[in-house]
């Protein structure tokens, strides 16, 4: 408002979007979401990833802080939280406990510690009150989304919002996350180039998660790494997602880039944060297999059937709208049919999909269909990996990665 008044005084006509997306407002919005934490910060994380190439550079840079920079809890609150979980004499079990967190995310913050028996740990501690605020946070975000008019006309977001609440409550249960961490650790024990920190169950509670501290830097920092390193990291993560879908029946669905670290000394990708782990039913996996098989074959009608079966396409979609969606699908699948590596950023696929999708929405209107929540969570993960590969300007051998999974019922074991 102040900047708008200044522009009017200078005889200018202020633009609302330009005022809203100013660098100063970007910093203020980021600071406020980081202070609020919880569900609203998670929304900001998704905004920072999925609109990073659409926003002005200053705003994209400011919003990127939300991936791992919440406001940490004060030391007194930290000590009170640990005393409530470990007892008043908890410090006697530690040789060192760093009060300053090494990371502060939407639901909890992470501290480095060493126990007296020599364990080097990363300890995630949940912010007090986060679990109690989830329902109201989601309701407030839902009100904002409805007010903004971005929902498809006639769409009822209630089932999706209830599912979002359920998942956030699951993410706030650190015992559950610890169990998922241990499951993935066993599944990937022999996977080359991937590492899952070991769980320390004796120090894990519903509000505290203890695991090995594993060295590594932000995966986004690889943007300046050699091309071969960027290609290898992106390829490993896409390959892992395919194993999660078709072999494990278990997927970590949070695409936050901060959930991946890279240890340059060993060229290892470290996997973190398993709070959003979801079971993948066999029927859903086969539905995605059918979609993948149809897309790789270039069969538009089979793509339509598979996408409809999954719930990605509504049953009453106008013919013209359907045809343009199939055109977008072909745009996405065509590079995967070519042998060799796909230059995700160089082909401009992200921008072309974005522009075509926005034009489609403007021309036809969004319609009233929302896919099932379980499908949207999978799409969130897959889209996040695509955005990460684009951000790293990585080349990924899509054809070689996808082909082994096309046959019905295939898995690595078979």
* Residue 277: Cβ within 10 Å count: 22
Rounded to an integer, the average pLDDT of 233-260 is 95
Burial class (CB in 10 A: 0-12, 13-18, 19+), 362: exposed
* Sign of torsion over alpha carbons 32, 37, 39, 42: positive
pLDDT category at 50 given cuts 50, 70, 90 is very low
186-197 confidence digits (pLDDT tens): 999 999 999 999
The answer to whether the beta carbons of residues 53 and 117 sit under 8 Å apart is: no
Higher pLDDT, 62 or 334: 334
Tell me what pLDDT residue 298 has. 93
pLDDT of residue 250: 97
CB atoms within 10 A of CB 248: 19
Q: What pLDDT sits at residue 362? A: 47
CB of 395 closer than 8 Å to CB of 344:
yes
Stronger pLDDT, 39 or 8, i.e. the higher one: 8
At 347, is the pLDDT very low, low, confident or very high (cuts 50, 70, 90)?
low
Q: Does pLDDT of 84 surpass 90?
A: yes
Assigned token pair, 166: 């359920």
Q: pLDDT at position 377, please?
A: 87
pLDDT at 366: 45
Got the DSSP string for 118-137? --EEEEEEEPTTHHHHHHHH
Residue 28, pLDDT score: 64
Let me know if 409 is exposed, middle or buried by CB neighbors in 10 A (0-12, 13-18, 19+). exposed
State the Cα–Cα distance between residues 386 and 12, nearest whole angstrom: 41
168-178 pLDDT per residue, tens: 889 889 999 99
Q: Which helix (H) or strand (E) holds 342?
A: strand 342-343
As a whole-number percent, the residues of the chain with pLDDT over 70 amount to 71
Chain segment 266-293, per-residue pLDDT in tens: 999 999 999 999 999 999 999 999 999 9
Exposed / middle / buried, residue 358 (Cβ in 10 Å: 0-12, 13-18, 19+): exposed
Is the dihedral angle over the CA atoms 41, 45, 47, 53 positive or is it negative?
positive
Q: What pLDDT is stored for residue 92 in this prediction? A: 95
Calpha distance 171→178 (Å, rounded): 10
The single-letter DSSP state of residue 247 is: I
Specify burial of residue 112 (Cβ count, 10 A radius: 0-12, 13-18, 19+): middle
Q: Per-residue pLDDT averaged across 111-130, rounded?
A: 94
pLDDT of residue 364: 47
Give me the residue label for tokens 């089932």: 159
DSSP secondary structure letter of residue 70: P
Least confident of 61-75, 244-258, 287-301, 311-325: 61-75
Q: Is residue 129 pLDDT above 50, yes or no?
A: yes
Instruction: Please give the structure tokens belonging to residue 205.
Output: 């509670």
The total of other beta-carbon atoms located within 10 Å of residue 240's CB is 22
- Beta strand residue intervals within 225-276, DSSP E: 250-252, 260-263, 268-271
User: How sure is the predictor about 352, in pLDDT bands with cuts at 50, 70 and 90?
Assistant: low
The residues spanned by each domain of the chain are: 2-67, 71-104+107-213, 215-414
DSSP code for 245: I
Highest mean pLDDT among 29-33, 57-61, 373-377, 401-405: 401-405
Q: Mean pLDDT of all residues in the chain?
A: 81
Active-site position among 137, 207, 231, 254: 254
Q: According to the model, what pLDDT value does residue 3 have?
A: 60
Please give the C-alpha separations between residue 38 and each of 63, 66, 74, 133, 323, in angstroms, as whole numbers.
Answer: 16, 11, 17, 8, 39
- Burial group, residue 332, by CB count within 10 angstroms (0-12, 13-18, 19+): middle
The answer to whether 86 touches 208, Cβ cutoff 8 Å, is yes
413 CB neighbour count, 10 Å cutoff: 5
Query: Over pLDDT 90: what percentage of the chain?
Result: 47
Query: Residue 414 has what pLDDT?
Result: 41
Task: Extract the tokens encoding 335.
Answer: 């590079």
CB atoms within 10 A of CB 106: 28
**207 has catalytic annotation:** no
Which range among 152-161, 317-326, 352-361, 381-390 has the greatest average pLDDT? Answer: 381-390
Nearest to 134 by CA among 43, 51, 205, 31: 43
Residue scoring higher pLDDT (251 or 20): 251
pLDDT interval class at 52 (50, 70, 90): very low
Q: Which residue has the higher pLDDT, 160 or 297?
A: 297
Q: Is residue 235 predicted with pLDDT exceeding 90?
A: yes
pLDDT value at residue 49: 46
Mean pLDDT of 38-55: 50
Residue 45 has pLDDT above 50, yes or no: no
Residue 212: predicted pLDDT? 98
Q: Which residue has the higher pLDDT, 261 or 130?
A: 261
- pLDDT at residue 380, as a whole number: 85
Render pLDDT for 21-31 as a digit per residue (tens, 0 to 9). 555 665 666 56
Tokens of 132: 């109690």
């Amino acid at each position: 408002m102040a900047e708008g008044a200044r522009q009017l005084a200078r005889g200018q006509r202020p633009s609302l979007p330009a005022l809203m997306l100013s660098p100063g407002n970007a910093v203020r919005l980021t600071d406020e979401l980081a202070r609020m934490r919880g569900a609203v910060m998670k929304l900001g994380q998704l905004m920072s990833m999925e609109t990073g190439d659409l926003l002005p550079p200053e705003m994209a840079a400011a919003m990127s802080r939300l991936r791992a920079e919440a406001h940490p809890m004060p030391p007194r609150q930290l000590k009170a939280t640990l005393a409530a979980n470990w007892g008043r004499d908890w410090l006697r079990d530690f040789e060192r406990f760093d009060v300053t967190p090494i990371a502060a995310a939407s639901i909890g913050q992470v501290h480095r510690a060493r126990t007296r028996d020599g364990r080097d740990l990363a300890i995630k501690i949940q912010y007090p009150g986060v679990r109690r605020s989830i329902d109201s946070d989601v309701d407030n975000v839902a009100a904002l989304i409805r007010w903004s008019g971005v929902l498809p006309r006639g769409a009822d977001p209630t089932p999706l919002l209830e599912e979002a609440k359920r998942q956030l409550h699951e993410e706030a249960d650190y015992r559950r996350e610890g169990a998922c961490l241990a499951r993935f650790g066993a599944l990937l024990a022999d996977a080359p180039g991937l590492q899952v920190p070991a769980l320390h169950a004796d120090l894990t509670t519903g509000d505290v998660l203890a695991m090995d501290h594993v060295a590594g830097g932000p995966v986004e920092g690889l943007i300046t790494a050699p091309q071969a390193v960027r290609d290898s990291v992106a390829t490993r993560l896409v390959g892992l997602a395919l194993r999660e879908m078709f072999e494990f029946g278990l997927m970590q669905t949070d695409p936050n880039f901060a959930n991946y670290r890279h240890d340059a000394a060993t060229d290892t990708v470290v996997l973190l944060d398993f709070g959003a782990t979801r079971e993948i039913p066999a029927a859903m996996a086969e539905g995605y297999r059918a979609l993948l098989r149809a897309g790789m074959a270039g069969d538009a009608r089979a793509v339509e059937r598979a996408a409809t079966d999954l719930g990605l396409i509504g049953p009453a979609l106008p013919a013209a709208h359907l045809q343009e969606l199939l055109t977008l699908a072909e745009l996405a699948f065509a590079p995967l049919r070519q042998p060799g590596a796909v230059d995700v950023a160089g082909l401009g696929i992200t921008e072309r999909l974005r522009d075509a999708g926005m034009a489609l929405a403007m021309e036809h209107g969004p319609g009233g269909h929302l896919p099932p929540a379980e499908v949207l969570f999978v799409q969130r993960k897959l889209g996040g990996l695509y955005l990460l590969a684009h951000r790293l300007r990585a080349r990924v051998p899509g054809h070689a990665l996808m082909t082994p999974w096309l046959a019905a019922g295939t898995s690595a074991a078979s």
